[in-house]
Structure 1
Amino acid sequence: MQPNSKILLAEDDDDMRRFLVKALENAGHAVVSFDNGLSAYHRLREEPFELLLTDIVMPEMDGIELARRATQLDPDIKVMFITGFAAVALNPDSQTPKDAKILSKPFHLRELVNEVDKLLAA
């Protein structure tokens, strides 16, 4: 595991966002979280992150657009989508970053942490 990986989380559900932040911080990651894609994007422009963890369906800027812009800013950033709508992310027309990982809700926090650690180690 890489300790202190910086993760940017964009999730508009307050409870879900709190759970995710706590689980990731408990696993040793530094997490900055936002409740919409636009705010997350502005933060991405200010500093680099190892991983963008984003919901797909959000107000202001959806996760797919956020991921596209994030990979334009930093081609090395890793992307993981969390969604109840996996089919949306998997649509080839949506232009999601090619190496993006998709985690479908509902999932266990341990599963999320394991997937994040695997992606960061890759």
Structure 2
Amino acid sequence: MKAPDSIRILLAEDDEAMRTYLARALESAGYEVISVGSGTEAVPYLENEHFDLLLSDIVMPEMDGIELAQRCGEVSPRTKVMFITGFAAVSLRASREQPQAKVLSKPFHLRDLVLEVERIFADRAEASL
């Protein structure tokens, strides 16, 4: 089952168990999800495919979520960005450097994640009216 507009999400999370958990929750909610284990793995997807949302952990090896979001802004400026993080100080830094990004702090309930994603796209639907 897909979301009405076939909303595509690119999930970048280095923790494999968390990545699987989040991807399943989003897929159950009807979203199409591609999941990768690092920012560097995510870049080619952003360059070659369309995604409505980049959902990224902030703290990752190689390329962190903030760098990934900045790269996303260069190669796919229409893609929305949402961060997930367990580090409150890092989320403050993220909100200053990437003001268009929503930050969801761990731990969170999967229902909260799905509701935040729905809000992002509800705002988009209202803006287009």
TM-score by length of structure 2 reads 0.87
State the alpha-carbon separation in 1 of the partners of residues 76 and 90 from structure 2: 24
Question: How large is the RMSD of aligned CA atoms in angstroms?
Answer: 1.6
Tell me which moved more, 86-95 or 44-53: 86-95
> Gaps spanning 5+ residues in structure 2: where?
124-129
8 A contact 1:53–1:80 mirrored in 2: yes
Tell me which moved more, 8-17 or 82-91: 82-91
Number of equivalenced pairs: 121
8 A contact 1:5–1:30 mirrored in 2: yes
8 A contact 1:2–1:121 mirrored in 2: no
> Gaps spanning 5+ residues in structure 1: where?
none
> What amino acid maps onto 1:61 in structure 2?
M
1:106 aligns to 2:107 (yes or no): yes
8 A contact 1:64–1:94 mirrored in 2: no
8 A contact 1:9–1:31 mirrored in 2: yes
SS where residue 102 of structure 1 aligns? strand
1:75 aligns with one of 74, 77, 86: 77
8 A contact 1:2–1:120 mirrored in 2: no
Q: For residues 38-57 of structure 1, what are the alpha-carbon distances to aligned partners after superposition, in whole Å with 9 as ceiling and x for unaligned?
A: 01011111111000000001
Runs of 4+, deviation exceeding 4 Å: none
State the alpha-carbon separation in 2 of the partners of residues 21 and 49 from structure 1: 15
Query: Could you tell me how far 1:2 is from its partner in structure 2?
Result: 4.4
SS where residue 55 of structure 2 aligns? strand
> What amino acid maps onto 2:118 in structure 1?
D
Q: For residues 59-94 of structure 1, what are the alpha-carbon distances to aligned partners after superposition, in whole Å with 9 as ceiling and x for unaligned?
A: 111000000110111222111000001321322796
SS where residue 91 of structure 1 aligns? helix
> What amino acid maps onto 2:70 in structure 1?
R
**Rg larger in structure:** 2
8 A contact 2:66–2:94 mirrored in 1: no
